[in-house]
Chain A
Amino acid sequence: MSGKTADKIRIPLAGDWSMNGVTHQIPHLVEQLASLSGSLSSKESQTCAAANPPEVVLSGIDELDASGCQLMATFLHNLKQRGVMPLLTDVPDAIKEKIQFLGFGRELGSYFKTLQVCV
């Protein structure tokens, strides 16, 4: 579920992002994608989203493997295709290491860019 805090959209990802749990993540992600797409229908909101990108919060992820990385990358690319450039935040070290180890450093690395703030 996404939540707005001072105009900031936060998309928390949680639970099992390994082969055992990836299928269960899909409905939540599709829901987030639809919700974001709807909220970005106006030009004004798109401008704000570009300046104040949604944050995808990874602190709740318990398990992550290659299938999870693939799903995460697909989700982020889908957001990007809809004009949203999200940021990955609150990434636990273990998850960071796993992403790098599985070779998704470049695929997901661009989403770690310096945070921008909508003033």
Chain B
Amino acid sequence: MTQAQKEINDIDLNRFNQIFFEECAEHLAEMEQILLALSDGAPDEEQLNAIFRAAHSIKGGAGIFGFQDMTIVTHVLESLLDRIRNQEIPFTTAMVDLFLEAGDVISMQLAGHRDGACVHQDAIDQISAKLQQFSDKSGCSSTVATADSCAPVSAPSRADSLAALHRYELEFTPDPDIFKRGVRVEQLFRELEELGELTVNAELSSIPDLASFDPEICNIYWNLTLVSSAGENDIREIFEFVADEDQLKVRDITESAAFPPTVEPLHGSAEKSQEAPDIAAFPPIMGKRAYDKNEQAPGAFGRRSGEADSSIRVGVTKVDQLINQVGELVITQAMLAQSAAGLDPVLHENLHRSILQLERNTRDLQQSVMSIRLVPISVVFSRFPRMIRELAAKLGKQVELKTVGDSTELDKGLIEKITDPLTHLVRNCLDHALETPDVRLSAGKEATGTVVLQASQVGGRIVIDVIDDGAGLNRDRILSKASERGIPISETMSDDDVWQLIFSPGFSTAEAVTDISGRGVGMDVVLRNVQSIGGRVTIASESGKGTRVTISLPLTLAILDGLSIGIGDEKFIIPLSSIIESLQPTKESLNTVNGNHVVQMRGEYIPIISLFELFNLKTEITTPEKGILILIDVDGEKAAILVDSLLDELQVVIKSIEDNYRKVEGTAGATILGDGRVAMILDVHSLFEMRKK
């Protein structure tokens, strides 16, 4: 094999490994989710089956792809779960922690293979031993990583499973490159064997000449017979990594074969003897366990839905590339529209109509493409039940987590960057905000505190609230700590301003530094991270009642709907989502308060922000009565921006100017307009801050 061929094969293998890694992570997440849901009581049959299925799938995939070390823990875990399913040993609440711990170890092994992360053999040995210990409690002496030496199927349960046996005929015609992909066919058959009684027959598709034969190309198809109580989906699931639907034909021939529901072993039957007369010397290979017999129920945990089957996995880089290309298309479309605007609409009617159509199509395309990157926030929320459970136990607190708006979607890039800030906030809730049960009871509250994670889409932004019903922020202590740290304060500061002090670097009011929090490296990091993705953090708190931390994020980081405005020779973009209205003020509606211009609108005095002053621009429109005011709203705070003219409503592709120039205060980036000019996109929130300064 040449070096180039080897590299190509390595790339192929990596691609398939990557699929396994992703599937494995999903199985682990699913297992954890179900285990956490179990923590209050014993699992029902479906839940138990689902956990089992997750462990079973991980083990199967690991074996197929050659990650044998990952099969060790999963095997013992699977054996224990199977014994619980068969009611050989009772489920205990201690097993939840044990299974969670096992999941962590498997995650560690996964990270080891996927990212080259450090793998601690001690942890693997310890959890394997613990699982084995639980499994052995009923006196069965199965051994770690020995294939099913502890045959768990008791006589009654085996009889039960045989009551609904099916006979399947499978025709497996794998991809010719299956060997090169590192797929271990025997592992597939072992998985099948665990479902029931299996016979395997391999056939060569053709007899090539040995001199020209490539032994790495698979020239085999397999005919298999499986007698099992499992469903067709269970069989297909075993092949999910290695065979498309047309490469695996599964036929249930129970009725046509007049298969008797007998408990007699089928292996070594007369039929088989006739098929292979010369292999009597080979030892019979018996099926070991009849798994998944009760997972036929619709909606059973862990069962793949039809929708999941119809999805495909695409690399993020490919999606990003697509988004960039659509962004360029949006710019090109804008340029075309601008060029056409100068042409006579009567003489060039068709051109104008086509350009309008192009605009509509571009917008639809752009929305469709952007939606590909959207993922539900449940991806982030789902990590907190486990964290809260463990932290609460550590801190001796009782905490209930509620999530609202789990299906709210936001950009994948935002999801990745919001995870750490949210984790900080939730940890703070548990460590600082929520009281211990006795303190809560003495304060007239319920012993169990509540943390609410709530996501929603408000206008063009995603709002995430972290709400607790704890003690609330302590104004006096914050002021005192701020004073100690030399931060300028005054007793007349509003609550909102006092709460903002906790975002100061190194600020902490915790009495003691713990491994959970209290080092003061939390809130400033939260603020910085959120601001780095165009987000904002606000706090509302009431003593004794609780605290609400609100994170507001842009819907997407790539494209926004904006209004282009002119000031002198410059053009700017204001995000449409923050605009309420625009008006030409009369002299009577304008006033000055403390030297600042305000406009009176419907009984409200609204401060005026003069962009030409903020950005030091030359323009003839220097007074509000000569220009146009655009009323904007950011989180309930209003202001009126003075501009020379309103130009156009348009979609703009956000480009970072920091990468090529530097951060420009008051802006959220730049864009390229239809005429090829660069326009700054205004960050209205930071304009408010600039005005205050």
Residues of A near any B CB (own CB < 8 A): 19, 22-23, 25-26, 29-30, 33, 65-67, 69-71, 73-75, 77-78, 81, 93, 96-107, 109-110, 112-113
Interface centre among B180, B202, B220 (most CB of A within 10 A): B202
Evaluate contact between B215 and A102: CB separation under 8 angstroms: no
Q: Which 7 A-B pairs have the closest CB atoms?
A: A103-B200, A103-B202, A109-B278, A105-B279, A22-B215, A100-B282, A109-B279
In the complex, whether B211 has a CB less than 8 A from a CB of chain A is: yes
A29 touches B210 (CB 8 A): yes
B224 x A103 contact (CB < 8 A)? yes
A47 CB to nearest chain B CB (Å): 24
> Known: A66-B185, A98-B186. Is A103-B215 also a contact (CB below 8 A)?
no
Q: In the complex, A104→B204 CA distance in Å?
A: 10
B259 cross-chain contacts in A, Cβ below 8 A: none
> How far is the CB of B92 from the nearest CB of chain A, in Å?
37
Q: Are B224 and A19 closer than 8 Å at their CB atoms?
A: no
- Considering only residues 534-569 of chain B, those with a C-beta below 8 Å from chain A are none
Flag if A106 contacts B276 (CB, 8 Å). Answer: yes
A105 adjacent to B186 (CB under 8 Å): no
Contact pick for B200, options A77, A96, A101, CB 8 Å: A101
Contact at B202–A19, with CB atoms within 8 Å? no
Chain B residues within 8 Å of A, Cβ to Cβ = 1, 179-180, 182, 184-186, 189, 200-204, 207-211, 213, 215-216, 218-220, 222-224, 275-279, 281-283, 285
Contact between A100 and B204, CB atoms less than 8 A apart: no
User: Inside 8 A of B282's CB, which chain A residues have their CB?
Assistant: 96-97, 99-100, 105
B204–A73 CB distance below 8 A: yes
B201, B209, B281: which contacts A96 (Cβ < 8 A)? B281
Main secondary structure, interface of A, reads: helix
C-alpha spacing A75/B224, complex, angstroms: 24
Contact partner of B283 among A69, A97, A107, CB < 8 A? A97
A-B contact pairs, 24 of them (CB 8 A): A19-B179, A19-B216, A26-B213, A30-B211, A65-B185, A66-B179, A66-B185, A66-B218, A71-B213, A74-B207, A74-B215, A78-B209, A81-B207, A93-B283, A96-B281, A97-B282, A97-B285, A98-B186, A100-B279, A102-B202, A103-B202, A106-B202, A112-B278, A113-B278
Instruction: Check A69 against B202 for contact (C-beta < 8 Å).
Output: yes
CB distance B179 to A23 under 8 Å? no
Cα(A77)–Cα(B207), bound, Å? 7
On chain B, the residues within 8 Å of A71 by CB distance are 213, 215
Most B C-beta atoms less than 10 A away, residue of A26, A66, A110: A66
Residues of B near A97 (CB, < 8 A) are 282-283, 285
Name the B residues within 8 Å of A81 (CB-CB). Answer: 207
Query: In the complex the two chains form, is A107's CB within 8 Å of B204's CB?
Result: yes
How far is it, in angstroms, between the C-alpha of A100 and the C-alpha of B359 when the chains are bound? 65
A19 lies within 8 A of B182 (CB): yes
Nearest CB to that of B181 among chain A residues? Answer: A19
Specify which chain B residues have a CB less than 8 angstroms from the CB of A113 in the assembled complex.
278
Residues of A contacting B277 in the complex (Cβ-Cβ under 8 angstroms): 109
Contacts of B275 in A (CB 8 A): 106
Query: Which residue of A67, A98, A106 is within 8 Å of B215 (Cβ)?
Result: A67
Q: Which of A22, A33, A74, A106 contacts B201 (CB 8 A)?
A: A106
Contact B204–A70 (Cβ < 8 Å):
yes
In the docked arrangement, what's the CA distance between A50 and B443, Å?
A: 98
Expressed in whole angstroms, the Cα–Cα distance for A7 and B210 within the complex equals: 25
Cβ of A112 and Cβ of B179 under 8 Å apart? Answer: no
Q: Give which listed residue, A77, A102, A112, contacts B204 with CB less than 8 A.
A: A77
CB-nearest residue of chain A to B178: A66
User: What residues of B have a CB within 8 angstroms of the CB of A101 in the complex?
Assistant: 186, 189, 200, 285
Report the separation of the CA atoms of residues A26 and B212 in the bound assembly, to the nearest whole angstrom.
10
Residues of B within 8 A of A66 (CB): 179, 185-186, 202, 218, 220
Distance in angstroms from B681 CB to nearest chain A CB is 55
Give chain B residues whose Cβ lies under 8 Å from the Cβ of A77. 204, 207
- B281 & A65 in contact (Cβ 8 Å cutoff): no
- Cα A93 to Cα B285 in complex, Å, equals 13
Q: In the complex, given contacts A106-B201, A107-B204, A112-B279, what are 18 additional A-B residue pairs having Cβ atoms less than 8 angstroms apart?
A: A19-B216, A23-B216, A65-B185, A67-B215, A70-B220, A71-B215, A73-B204, A74-B213, A101-B186, A101-B200, A101-B285, A102-B186, A103-B189, A103-B202, A106-B279, A107-B202, A107-B203, A112-B281
